[in-house]
Amino acid sequence: MEEIEGTSRQDKAKMYEKRVDNIMNASQTHLVVATLLVTVTFAAGFTLPGGFDSDPNSTNKGTAILIRNTAFCAFVVTDAIAFSCSAGTMFIYYFMAETRRSSKDYTEMYPLLWKLYNDAIFLQELEMMKERFSKLLLGEDMSGSGKGVCTSLAISNAITNLCGKFYFQTTFVVFISLLLTKNRCVATIFGQLWRLEPLPQEKKSMWRREMEWLVAVSDHIVELKPSWQTFHDGSKLEVMTSRPRADLFINLPALRKLDNMLIEILDSFTNTEFWYVDQGIIAAEDDGSASFRKAIQRQQDKWWLPVPRVPHGGLLDDTRKQLNHKRECASQILKAAMSINSITLAEMEVPESYLDALPKNGRACLGDVIYRYITSEHFSSECLLDCLDLSTECVALEIANRVEASIYVWRRRHHPRPPTNPNRSTAKSSWEMVKDLVVDGDKRESLAERAENLLLCLKQRFPGLTQTTLDTSKIQYNKDVGKCILESYSRVLESLAFNIVARIDDLLHVDALTRNSSVPTGNIINHKKVSIPYSGTPYRTPNFSPVPLISPVRGERTPFLSANSNKLTGRGFGVKRVLSNYLGCEAKTKNSGNGTSNKSSDHTIQSPELYLQAGKGLRSIDR
C-alpha cells in the first residue's frame, strides 16, 4: 500500500510539474507576443504618418500633421487601445509565470496590488491637475512661445470645455495626450442632455473635482480695505486688511448652490415611468405613446434627440406634479444663472478693438429704416419690433448687434470735435459753443436711451438669445480673472438648466398628446440624412477670431460694418412701407373726409413729411 501511495504521489508530482511547464511555456509565448504588440503599437504611435508640424510660424507646431483627418484619429484611438490591452496582458502573464514558478502563496499580495492600483489612479489625477494648470499658465499655447491667450480667457475656456470632457482611463489619457496635444478627443459630461437621467458617478466626481481646481484661484482674489487694529496698550493703528472681493463673495457660493441643485434634479430621475427610444426605430410595444410621430414633429430641428415615451394613458398625476415642480425649480435656477451672467458681462470693460471697429454714426449701424424711426419724435420700441420681421433668431441677433453698436456710437461722441482751423476766429461765442455741445450731448444721450430700451424689449422677446458681438468681445479681451470665472460658470449652469427645462417640456408634451389621443400609432420614423447643425447652446465657447465684430451665429461680418449696408436683411415684407403707413395713418384719415385732430397719438404723427421734420433735429447731430 505504501508503494502504491508513493507511486501515486510521484505521478501527481510529475503531472503537476508537467502542468507547470506547460503554463510556463504558454506564459513565455504570450509574453513574447505581448511584448511585440507593445513595441509595435508604441512605435506606431510615435512614428506617425506624415510626421509632425515643424513650421515655426504655425500655431500647431509640434502636433501631428494628420490631426484633422478622421481616419488618423481613429487610428490613434485604436492604437491606444491595443497598447493598453497588450501591456496589461504582458503583466498578467508575467505574474502567472512567477506564481507557478514559486511555491509561495501570492494571495497576500492582492491587497498590495489594490493599493498600488489606487496609487496609480491618484498619480493619474495629479498628472491631470498638473497638465491643466500648465495649460492655464501657458495660455493654451503648448509651444511656450508666448502666443497664448490671457489667463482669464484660458480659465473661461477650461470651465466651458469641462462640460465636454470625457474621463479616459489612465493609459488612454497618457498615451493620447502625448499625440493629441491640443485636440483631445472629447465626449460630454452634460452636453445637450439628451435624456432625463442621473449623471454617472465618475462624471459627477470629475466635474466637481476639476471645477474645484479651476475655481480655487478665486480664494486668493481679495480686496484691501482700511481697518483699525487695537493693541494691548490701547493704541490704535490703521492697517489694510484683505477680504474676498464682493462679487466673488456673493455670486460664487450662489453658483455652487445652483450647481448642486441641478445635479440633485438629475439624480432624482430614477425608476421613472417614462423611457426613451431613438428616432428611426419602431416601438417594441403596440400600446405605446400614440403621439410618436407628433413628438417627432416637435423635434424636427433636433432630430438626433431620443423621443420620450410614456405608458398608455399617460403619466400618473403624482409623477406629473413632480415633473412640473422640477421644471419650475430648473426655470428659477435658469433665471438666477442668467441674471448673474448678465450682471457680470455688464461689469466687464468694453474692449478698445470693439470701439475702434464701430461705424462713424448711428445711421450706418441701424440702417435707414430703424434709424428714421428711432430718431422720430413719437417712438415706441414695441411698435417697432411688431413691424420688423423677427421670425428667426439669427435676424433678432443681427438687430441686437446693430442696436448695441449704435448705443456706443452715440455715447462715445460726447467730446467736442476739434476745429478745422484753430487760428481762425469763429462767429459764435464760447458760451454758444458750450451750449450747443450740451444740447448735442443731451440729444445723443436720448438716442442712446431709446436704443437701450429697444435692445431690452428685444431681449425680453427672445430670452434665449445667444451672445452678441459685444459679449464675445468682452469675454475674449477680459483681463479680470474673477469675472471670467463668474461668467463662464454661470453660462455653463444656464445651459444645463435650459436643457433640463427643454427635456421636461418635451416629456410633458408627449404625455399630453398621449392622454388626448385614443388611436395608438406605430409608424416608423426614418432618419433624416442631414448634418448636425452647429451647436448654438448658451454655454459654447465664442469663436474668437482676430477679425473684430464677427457674428457668433453665422461666422460672418455683421452688415453694419459694410459701407454699403444701410438696410436690414432677411425681411419678410417691406418694413419701410409698413412704418410709413403706420406713421401716416392720420393723414389718410384726413384725406378720407373725417375730421382732423390737432392731437397726435403717442405712436403716430400726421404725415411722413411731418415725421421727417420731427426727426430732423435729432438726426442732424449724427451727420
φ and ψ at 557, to 5 degrees?
A: -70, 135
Residue 83 buriedness (CB in 10 A; 0-12 / 13-18 / 19+):
buried
In this prediction, residue 340 has a pLDDT band, given cuts at 50, 70 and 90, of very high
The pLDDT, as a whole number, for residue 489 is: 92
Return the closest-CA partner of residue 354 out of 343, 366, 363, 365. 365
The reply to whether 141 and 235 lie within a common domain is no
- Measured N-to-C along each axis, helices 393-411 and 430-461 cross at an angle, to the nearest 10 degrees, of 160
Backbone dihedral region for residue 51 (phi beyond 0: left; psi -120 to 50: alpha; all else: beta): left
> What one-character DSSP code corresponds to residue 54?
-
420 contacts 447 by C-beta, under 8 angstroms: no
410-435 pLDDT, tens digit per residue, is 887 654 444 444 444 444 556 555 55
Let me know if residue 463 belongs to a domain: yes
Q: Whole-model pTM? A: 0.57
Lowest-pLDDT range, 290-304, 348-362, 429-443, 528-542? 528-542
Return the closest-CA partner of residue 482 out of 344, 351, 352, 349. 344
29 has pLDDT over 50: yes
d(CA 403, CA 413): 16
The reply to whether 284 and 178 lie within a common domain is no
552 has pLDDT over 50: no
The pLDDT, as a whole number, for residue 41 is: 59
d(CA 136, CA 149): 9
- In whole angstroms, how far apart are CA 65 and each of 41, 68, 233? 19, 8, 72
The pLDDT, as a whole number, for residue 50 is: 55
Average pLDDT over residues 154-159: 74
**Boundary residue ending a domain (149, 167, 184):** 184
The reply to whether 261 and 401 lie within a common domain is yes
Number of domains composing the chain:
2
Residue 339, domain CATH: 1.20.58.2010
The reply to whether 116 and 204 lie within a common domain is no
Let me know if residue 25 belongs to a domain: yes
Let me know if residue 532 belongs to a domain: yes
Dihedral angle of Cα 492, 496, 502, 506, to the nearest 10 degrees: 150
The runs of H, that is alpha helices, within 462-596 are: 469-477, 481-516, 575-583, 585-591
Domain range enclosing 111: 2-184
221-278 pLDDT, tens digit per residue, is 888 888 888 888 888 888 888 888 899 999 999 999 999 999 999 999 998 889 988 7
Average pLDDT over residues 391-411: 88
The reply to whether 131 and 154 lie within a common domain is yes
599 has pLDDT over 90: no
The reply to whether 140 and 235 lie within a common domain is no
Residue 77 buriedness (CB in 10 A; 0-12 / 13-18 / 19+):
middle
- In whole angstroms, how far apart are CA 608 and each of 197, 493, 566, 604? 59, 49, 20, 10
Let me know if residue 54 belongs to a domain: yes
d(CA 273, CA 313): 12
The per-residue DSSP string of 342-371 comes to HHHHHHSPPPHHHHHTS-SSHHHHH-HHHH
Cell of 541: 465657447
The reply to whether 199 and 180 lie within a common domain is no
Q: Is 605 in a helix, a strand, or coil?
A: coil
Amino acid at 377: E
Amino acid at 10: Q
CA atoms in the 13 A half-sphere facing the CB of 446: 18
126 has pLDDT over 80: no
Let me know if residue 431 belongs to a domain: no
292-333 pLDDT, tens digit per residue, is 445 555 555 677 788 888 998 888 989 999 999 999 999 999
The runs of H, that is alpha helices, within 268-305 are: 292-298
Cα angle 532, 534, 535; round to 5:
105
**Boundary residue ending a domain (130, 159, 184):** 184
The pLDDT, as a whole number, for residue 377 is: 81
In this prediction, residue 602 has a pLDDT band, given cuts at 50, 70 and 90, of very low
Contacts of 4 (CB under 8 A, 6+ apart): none
CA atoms in the 13 A half-sphere facing the CB of 188: 11
Let me know if residue 73 belongs to a domain: yes
Average pLDDT over residues 144-166: 66
**Boundary residue ending a domain (165, 184, 203):** 184
Let me know if residue 210 belongs to a domain: yes
The reply to whether 201 and 332 lie within a common domain is yes
Q: Is 228 in a helix, a strand, or coil?
A: strand
The reply to whether 172 and 223 lie within a common domain is no
The pLDDT, as a whole number, for residue 321 is: 93
The pLDDT, as a whole number, for residue 211 is: 85
596 contacts 587 by C-beta, under 8 angstroms: no
Residue whose C-alpha cell reads 441641478 in the numeric block? 262
d(CA 99, CA 117): 19
456-484 pLDDT, tens digit per residue, is 888 888 887 888 899 999 998 888 888 98
Residue of higher predicted confidence among 509 and 155: 509
The pLDDT, as a whole number, for residue 523 is: 42
What's the farthest any 2 CA atoms get from each other in the chain? Answer: 140
The reply to whether 78 and 161 lie within a common domain is yes
The reply to whether 105 and 196 lie within a common domain is no
Cα angle 571, 577, 580; round to 5:
130
The pLDDT, as a whole number, for residue 580 is: 46
Return the closest-CA partner of residue 491 out of 143, 206, 133, 251. 251
538 contacts 494 by C-beta, under 8 angstroms: yes
The reply to whether 66 and 156 lie within a common domain is yes
Let me know if residue 158 belongs to a domain: yes
